[in-house]
Structure 1
Amino acid sequence: MARKGRDTLKLFFQRGALPSADHFGDFIDSTVNQVDDGFKKTAEHGLEISSLGTFDSLISFFRENRSPQALWSIGYDEERDKLLFRKLDDAGQPLTVLSLTPDGKVGVNRKDPVHELDVDGFVSAKGRIGTASAELAVPADGRWHDVTETLTGCHALEVIAGVGKPKTGRYAMLHGVAMNAYNPAGILFNLFRRKNRIRAQHAYYSSRRDRLQLRWRGHNREFRLQLRSGCDFGEGCFVRYYITRLWFDAAMAGSSAEAGGGIRSRSKDD
């Protein structure tokens, strides 16, 4: 049945007209039906939208009323209850640009995200802050302080830290990468700490003694990362730091044959 506009429907029901069954059918089809059209509004859930039949589409956006294809669409995945935001690519095919999974993962240009935020493309930001540690500061008193919880296994951490005392000329910064694989111990077995050496870059204003330092400290297979200032900056002065995890398979479980090496190929619309 052809769609009718409001002006046409008004003509069917103006004073003196005799509407036919088809006219009443056109009028009924011009209204929203909660059962047939798959959406309603309730106090509990607000606007409720359901897919119809075997189709997965929920919302489609068209440039014009008579456009044959939607420029943008929102719908479910064919196999899982992922919510997909799609657009038409240069070939006129739907391309997933945003994917939301039931377990809270978000994919950008990725249909099947593996991580909490999985981006297939470039990320532009004015900065980034690591938050792998619960605390963000330790006293600048020249003593060693733990900056991680007790760890075991294989870990790689990026640390950025800074301390300063205004109007004294005492400022220092550190950027380091600390890696450790089950904390090899022993003077001969890990001579000069070569197996878990920490590489760091330093910047300071006045004295070399103000520099910040990192080290691993632990026993057997358990260890912590520690941070200190080279000397005491005085009461009320703290070293601020941010830690970013760079490795996420402490037991190297992804390297096993059963896990397929933890590697899988992924297409752009994976």
Structure 2
Amino acid sequence: MWEKVAETVEFIQKTVNCTPDYGVILGSGLGGFVNDIEVEYKLAYKDIPNFPISTVEGHEGALLFGSIGNKKVMAMQGRFHYYEGYDMKQVTFPVRVMKQLGINKLVVSNASGGVNPSFKVGDVMLITDHVNMMPEHPLRGSNDVRFGPRFVNMSEPYSKSMNAKVRAIAKENKIDLKEGVYLALQGPTFETLAEYRMVKAVGADCVGMSTVPEVIVAKHMNMDCIGVSIITDMGDEENIEEVNHQEVLEAAKKAEPIVRKLIKEFILTY
């Protein structure tokens, strides 16, 4: 893994004259954030050594390098999911690359199904913690201490100071920002009634199929993280509404301006 990451980093550094301050992973329906970036370089995943290729609709599949104000950013247009058939080391490979490029702050976004009864479709939730119920752990196997320690402290997966800044931005802009715990399941199926009941019972507020592996690997390398989730459907455990991926993308699209505002202002001012 160390050699693969080094090869990828060398390719990017030779191609891109940019040292990013922030890494941003854009989830389903959130690709419009690229319009807030003054893009200087765009690299298709298929052209980057050792990079997987995103196969999900709504995930374009490119690395963008550019500026938001005076801050340099590297943004992933499309992430990789375990349900696509990749193993967790492939899913989290771009986060390894970000760290070796000098990035210490990671912003992740996603679409999720809400189970908190105070939520509604289109709400934006700041992730305060997570529950990992993925069937494979991204740190399973031998540990390379050059990346990080064998046992990782996960008491603060999402930075309290970064979250405080996002709250302040939401308050200043009169954004109704929800907060809660994100639970990660493998997918790609949407949850059953019983699974929604389980998610709620274990103390989570929403459920999705991404983000947690990326944050675990980021913490392994001592990166600070924030996560924002768009509630694209509601899992009423008594009367589930049918949902499909297109509806998820449409719901994410409607809430996208709010997420863009939060992330842009955060990067500009933190």
TM over 0.5: no
- Name whichever structure is richer in strand by fraction: 1
How would you bin the TM-score normalised by the shorter chain?
A: under 0.3
Structure number with bigger Rg: 1
- TM-score scaled by length of structure 1: 0.22
